[in-house]
Chains A and B, each alone.
Chain A
Amino acid sequence: MSADITKLEQIASQVRRDIVRMVHSCQSGHPGGSLGCTDYFVALYFHAMKHDPSFNFNAAGEDLFFLSNGHISPVFYSTLARAGYFPASELATFRQINSRLQGHPTTHEHLPGIRIASGSLGQGLSVAIGAAQAKKLDKDAQTVYVLLGDGELQEGQVWEAAMYAAHNKMDNVIAAVDYNGAQIDGATKDVLSLGDLRAKWEAFGWDVLDIEKGNDMASIISGLDEAKSRSGQGKPVMILLHTGMGYGVDFMMGSHKWHGVAPNDEQLASALAQNPETLGDY
């Protein structure tokens, strides 16, 4: 499928506006990782994935996506809304009482597009593998995508899942790690070093590829196309997605300090000025 890079970049600009507005509005949430993963989400939902926004929970014949690092819910919610899963106006309820847009994604409030609760880290890869196992059982050839944070790889369950996926040749799984090198308390290399991630995943039996420019739409598209071409070959595929935390908002970039902090009015104005309105603000 050929991609209209300009169009995808325009969607990403709107998603970034949504993210900072949502987080500003309730003065809580996680803008850093959300902004860093915006381009990847847009590439998935507006290019790579076969999916139906009318939302059939079991998604037979569709690709699936799971978000393991649930704290970047703003980018997930905005992407789902902009893809047509629910009205964009509902983004205004993010983290407010009686909202379907909980702080971390949940099925509990029946928000279309969400198939598992996440937030407590380390669990999403296992869930994605279970769904992929169900697809294999049903002879459904579609792909299961899952995104993890890099700090999240410090959770042991991730490596249980990694071992299982390789042993069982889960080659309908395309996982990605948001490789921004930052977590709440600082740089991952200082908090708990991840070491050589490529070597680790390869040692666990995965086919690993890097998307070096994880905030460049053309690079993401070609990386996802490459990942897709490598799936179905007997190995699960891992994308090391090199992103910048806070990407697209200059004062948030390059610092872990915007992991879970909301912008003030002045900062919001600056952030919005850097990301043009393309699809209409909610």
Chain B
Amino acid sequence: MKKYTYTESKDTRSGFGAGLLEAGKKNENVVALCADLIGSLKMNDFIKEFPERFFQIGIAEANMMGIAAGLTIGDKIPFTGTFANFSTGRVYDQIRQSIAYSGKNVKICASHAGLTLGEDGATHQILEDIGLMKMLPGMTVINTCDFNQTKAATLALVDHVGPTYLRFGRPVVPNFTPADQEFVIGKAVMLNEGTDVTIVATGHLVWEAIQAGEELEKLGISAEIINIHTIKPLDEEAILASVAKTKCVVTAEEHNRLGGLGDSVAQVLARQLPSPQEYVAVDDSFGESGKPDELMDKYGLNAAAIVAAARKVITRK
């Protein structure tokens, strides 16, 4: 098992903030919008550097999506920032009509996704957003795993034309991917080559998958671990090549089992390479208040759950 280490833990949303600043420097058409959550989205540095290119919308997310769509008509590249819940479900029809169907180059950047939002509870812990967004024709869906990857993804969006949903989170997590990584939208990252089981993970579950891989190694199980940061378009080739070798797969995500990464992987396999699959995901429920780690443990989104799923799926080969 390849060793992964980190020197510090940082939040993915700070990766977005750092990436947005770089994006602004890279391209003068980059503009940013926020619905009264500047601090939470870490947009302060961009605002300080480019005050005229920032639009404070207030608590009016529907209006924010419309304004972002309109800004593209002047060739601007708008990045909207608010919580994942308010970036998707709250404004679904605005995104559907004014952005996705209209083919607008808007980057919907969403923080505080999933259970790890923590104490605020289920009203804010959206677990359905990946499903909502991947269902929209033409929408690219990205869920990053740490600070460095989120920063790299944010920068990569500048040169990517088309509506995109970028999902990240609130808590500090191990920052283990390289600072100088090249982020290629739609390209899976092979973290560890193995032969017995494929683990496909996204977002905060990627680090848990690495931990699980180490545990499985102790049990004599060789896990192939793939970091899927882009859920749509999905890197089907990488998944098919891996499962052709291991003959089974575990998918891991901080999302409802229905409609997330796991379902996307299952669809690829069902059509081209039917194989046993186990889901590490929230079992069709809302979340609740608690500390992020407590919640991830209670809802079975951790390394131990991935280990259990891997051992189970191997028996189904």
In the bound complex, what is the Cα–Cα distance between A160 and B18 (angstroms)? Answer: 30
Assuming the contacts A58-B75, A164-B58, A164-B60, asked whether A130 and B70 have C-beta atoms less than 8 A apart, the reply is: yes
Assuming the contacts A116-B98, A117-B98, asked whether A133 and B71 have C-beta atoms less than 8 A apart, the reply is: yes
Interface size class of B (residues with CB under 8 A): 20 to 34
Nearest CB to that of A120 among chain B residues?
Answer: B97
Q: Which residues of A contact B78 (CB under 8 A)?
A: 130
Q: Is A44's beta carbon under 8 Å from chain B? A: no
Q: Is B94's beta carbon under 8 Å from chain A? A: yes
Interface size class of A (residues with CB under 8 A): 35 or more
In the bound complex, what is the Cα–Cα distance between A167 and B102 (angstroms)? Answer: 27
Assuming the contacts A133-B55, A133-B70, A133-B71, asked whether A106 and B65 have C-beta atoms less than 8 A apart, the reply is: no
Contact of B69 among A127, A138, A140, A163 (CB under 8 A): A127
Q: Is B53's beta carbon under 8 Å from chain A? A: yes
Nearest CB of A to B317, in Å: 45
In the bound complex, what is the Cα–Cα distance between A116 and B68 (angstroms)? Answer: 12
Q: Chain B 60-83 against A: per-residue CB contact (8 Å), 1 yes, 0 no?
A: 101111111111111110100000
Q: Is A97's beta carbon under 8 Å from chain B? A: no
Assuming the contacts A117-B97, A126-B98, A164-B57, asked whether A58 and B70 have C-beta atoms less than 8 A apart, the reply is: no
Contact of B97 among A118, A140, A156 (CB under 8 A): A118
Q: Is B73 in contact with A58, judged by CB distance below 8 angstroms?
A: yes
Q: Is A117 in contact with B73, judged by CB distance below 8 angstroms?
A: no
Q: Which residues of B contact A163 (CB under 8 A)?
A: 58, 60
Nearest CB of A to B56, in Å: 9
Q: Is B4's beta carbon under 8 Å from chain A? A: no
Nearest CB to that of A59 among chain B residues?
Answer: B73
Assuming the contacts A106-B101, A157-B94, A163-B58, asked whether A126 and B71 have C-beta atoms less than 8 A apart, the reply is: no
15 contacting pairs across A/B (C-beta < 8 A): A66-B70, A106-B102, A107-B103, A115-B73, A118-B97, A120-B97, A123-B62, A123-B66, A125-B66, A126-B94, A127-B69, A128-B70, A129-B66, A130-B78, A134-B73
